[in-house]
Amino acid sequence: MNWAQKLAPYRVAKNGRAIFEIVLTLTLFVAFWYAAYRFSFHSILASLVPAVLAAGFMVRLFMLQHDCGHLALFPSKKVNDWVGRALGILTFTPYDYWRHAHAIHHAGSGNLDKRGVGDIKTMTLSEYRDAGFWGRFGYRLYRNPLVLFVIGPIYLFVFQQRMPPGAFRQGRASWVSVLLTNIGIAALIAGLCFLVGWQAVLSVHMLIVVIAGSIGVWLFYVQHQFDPTHWEPNADWNAHQAALEGSSYYDLPKPLMWLTGNIGIHHLHHLSSRIPFYKLPQVLKDFPELDEAATRLTFWESLRCIPLAVWDEHKKELLSFRRARQALRLYPKVA
C-alpha cells in the first residue's frame, strides 16, 4: 500500500494549533512548577506530586520540540527551528544537534548495520559473545534499570548534552546550537536563583528535570525495545516494515497519551514523521489496519520489556541476559 500518498493529507501543520499547544503546555508547566515550589516550603515530599506533574509537562514540551524537529508543528521550517531551539533551553536539549541525531535514528531504525546514533545501545547475540568479560560486564551495567532509567537520564540531560560527543563533527549549526542552549540554560538557572534561590532550583527545578528525563528515556526505550520487534541487516531492511514492526503502539490511558503528545503511537510516527502529533489518533481511526499493524503494549505489559537486552539474530527476538546465556550454549560460534 502506498502509505506516503494516503497519509499526505495529514501532513499539514497549522500555526494556530501549534501556538495553542505551546501556550497551554507552557502555562500548565509553569503552574505546576510554581505549585511544587510553594509546597517545598513545607517539605520536599509535599512538593513531589506537583513536581511530577510539572515533569510531565516538561516531557510534553519536549514532544513539541520533537515535532519541530520533524517540521510537523509549524508550516514554516524557520519557525519550527527557532521554536525548537527555544524549547531546547527548557528541555536541556540542544535542538540542532538532537535533530541531526534523531534524523539518523529515523533513517535507520531497526537496521542492524546502522545502530549507534540517537538510539539505545543494543547488542546482537554474536556481539555479546565476542565482547569478552569486561565488555559484557559494561553492557550489563549499561542495561541495568537503575542506570538506564535513573542515572543515565541525569547524565544525559544534565551533563552529556552540555557538550555532546560528535557535535563538532556535525558542523557549525550543531555546536552553535549546543553553545547557545548552554548559555540559555545558564541564564534560566541564574534567573531562577535570583527569583527563588539556589536551594529551590536544586530541590524543585532540577528534580523536575531529572523526573522528566527518566520519563523521556523510558518512553524512548519502550518504543523500540519490546518483543516481538524487528531488526534486519541493511540488505534486508525495509523502512515501512521497520516502522510498523519495529516500533510499538504504547497504548497508554488517554490523559497520558495527551500528556506525552501521542508519542506512544510510535509505529505511525515512524511511518510518517511529518504528521503533527495531534493528528495521529485520527489517522488510526481513519485507517483501522494501522491500528492493528504494530505490537500494542499497555503500561503493565510494557514492564515486561525491562529485562530485554540482547538481539538473537538467529531467532529474531530480543532476549533477557539469562536467555542470552542459554542461547550462547546453542550458538557457541555465532557467524
pLDDT digits (tens, 9 = 90+) for 278-315: 999 999 999 999 888 889 999 999 999 999 999 999 89
Q: Is the pLDDT of residue 171 over 80?
A: no
Domain assignment present for residue 315? The answer is: no
The mean per-residue pLDDT over the stretch 108-119 comes to 86
Grid coordinates given for 156: 544525559
List C-alpha distances in Å: 154 to 158, 159, 191, 206, 225: 6, 7, 22, 10, 21
DSSP state of 157: I
* Count of domains observed in the chain: 1
Q: What is the pLDDT of residues 5-51, one digit of tens each?
A: 899 999 999 999 999 999 999 999 999 999 999 998 887 788 899 99
The verdict on residue 223 lying in a domain is yes
Q: Which alpha helices (H) appear in the chain, and where do they start and end?
A: 3-7, 15-39, 48-69, 77-91, 95-108, 125-130, 132-142, 145-146, 152-154, 172-196, 198-200, 206-224, 239-246, 254-259, 266-271, 280-286, 288-291, 299-302, 321-330
- The string of DSSP codes covering 183-248 is HHHHHHHHHHHHHH-HHHIIIIIHHHHHHHHHHHHHHHHHHHS-SS---B-GGG--HHHHHHHHS-
* 122: containing domain: 3-307
Q: Identify whether 69 is part of a domain.
A: yes
CA distance 139 to 122: 9
Stated pTM of the model: 0.92
Q: Is residue 198 part of a domain?
A: yes
In a domain, 319, yes or no: no
- For residue 130, being part of any structural domain is answered with yes
For residue 265, the 8-state DSSP code is: B
- Examine the pLDDT at 126 and tell me if it is beyond 50: yes
Q: CA–CA separation, 271 vs 216, rounded Å? A: 21
CB 272 within 8 A of CB 223: no
CB 269 within 8 A of CB 280: yes
In a domain, 149, yes or no: yes
Supply φ then ψ for residue 252, to 5 degrees.
-80, 165
Grid coordinates standing for 149? 532509567
Return the SS3 of 136.
helix
pLDDT score of 332: 65
DSSP assigned state of 147: I
Q: What is the pLDDT of residue 52?
A: 96
Mean pLDDT of 75-87: 97
> Does the structure show a pLDDT above 70 at 240?
yes
**Residue 330 included in any domain:** no
Express as a percent the part of the chain with pLDDT over 70: 98
| pLDDT bracket for residue 220 (50, 70, 90) | very high
Peptide bond into 94 cis (omega under 30): no
